[in-house]
Chain A
């Protein structure tokens, strides 16, 4: 004989009365429905939230890009009739350069140098056509301004591409990767946005601290153009014969420091007892802006062509290369020169003198190279 157990007695085991059964069932359904909802749609909700967050940054990048474009346009209008300028600027902002093939890496540096030279010449010619009334220094500054606007355009388009790709494919992993690097991208974009105003007015930038050191050393001495955009002055420094090299200011130029050192070493031979490079370097978070450090090696930034030229010579001439570096953040490097960096230039000069006192004797020949953009810095 079967015994039916009433539901009320089962509930009684848990201390619940029979009239609470509907509440219990409703609660259980609610809990299970919530679990099912968040299991199925949780990632989609997260995706939606991340996409919204990234969208805010993409909008900001777009506004930065538009601002860069309009600033470049305004600057060019001041020095031209303004006819068809908007189209020309838009075309400039879409410019690209294709890197040489490196499957067979031998000789790739020279191919890269050629491409960079052609690119620079093309940019300068475009600016000269857009602003025929501009002086040579203004042409260089405008080219820098357009380069900053171009960088903002490239950043915006790249981020927008991944944002739209992530949204279209609903790929959580594409969107999450984008979200993870967004703070770094925005920091870079902020630095380029800060650079716009400096290039617009031709103000010295943080990257020019090396050029400033060289300018301070050669000020008042006669100088001559050694290679394209690069000058040299012979200076007496604590009994040493110093050949000070920098890009020719005050236009936005970096010159060819590697080529200049190569030329000097070929000319002076083994009489050169030391080559000192002065440049800005990226500081790590938590480090002080304007801190001066020294070490060994070739301190020339950029795509590496100039650095390669000098390093090749080190085997032939056995001349030691020293580097004096000034620490600064990315934003400081391309925004107007901070007072701390101006002070750091004097500290760097003292560091060069003490370094030369340690590694060379009176009467020795040395080369001092101020690396960096010389915008707003004469000689």
Chain B
């Protein structure tokens, strides 16, 4: 079941729990102790289930794989004409490694950079207090 559907179900359970709570209070005011207790207990159980479910979904969303695999790129530069090219990193690449002829001018290229880019860049540069 997708996380969004689970969260929707959890939200629905919270709404039902709220309704049961209100009905329970009405019965309590009317003096029907047994019925009100039943409704209030029902509300409590539903709230508990909803909390556990939403917590599990949130924990699963926060879960990071044991070993993160980063998308690393290799950048080639031709010092003669400035032509640049980026491709995925391959084993054996290293910065300043000669990388054959430039497809534009035929000059000698080299690997000028190897880097990874974060998928979600830091938006807030300074964390608010």
Interfacial residues, chain A to chain B (CB-CB below 8 A) = 60, 63-64, 67, 71, 190, 193-194, 196-197, 201-204, 212, 215, 219, 249-250, 285-286, 288-289, 335-339, 341-342, 376-379
Contact = CB atoms under 8 A, between A and B. Distances in A.
Interface string B111-129: 0011111100010011100
Contacts, number: 81
8 contacts: A63-B66, A197-B67, A201-B91, A250-B94, A289-B122, A336-B114, A337-B116, A378-B96
Interface string B14-38: 0000000000000000000000000
B118 A203 contact: no
B64 interface: yes
A377 B94 contact: yes
B116 A194 contact: no
Given A286-B127, A288-B125, A342-B113, A212 B67 contact: no
Contacts of B66: 60, 63-64, 67, 193
Contacts of B95: 204, 212, 215, 249-250, 376-378
A376 B94 contact: yes
Given A197-B67, A286-B127, A342-B113, A203 B72 contact: yes
Contact of B114 (A60, A71, A204, A335): A204
Interface residues of B, number: 25
Contacts of A341: 115
B65 to A, nearest CB: 9
B68 to A, nearest CB: 6
Contact of B97 (A193, A339, A378): A378
Nearest to A335: B70
Contacts of B72: 201, 203, 336
A196 B72 CA distance: 14
Interface of B: 64, 66-70, 72, 89, 91-97, 113-118, 122, 125-127
A341 B118 CA distance: 12
Given A204-B114, A337-B116, A379 B70 contact: no
Contacts of B91: 201-202
A194 B96 contact: no
Given A250-B94, A250-B97, A377-B96, A203 B67 contact: no
Given A194-B68, A378-B96, A379-B96, 8 more contacts: A64-B66, A201-B72, A219-B96, A288-B125, A288-B126, A336-B114, A336-B115, A337-B115
Contacts of A71: 67
A339 B73 CA distance: 10
A104 to B, nearest CB: 44
Given A64-B66, A336-B72, A376 B96 contact: no
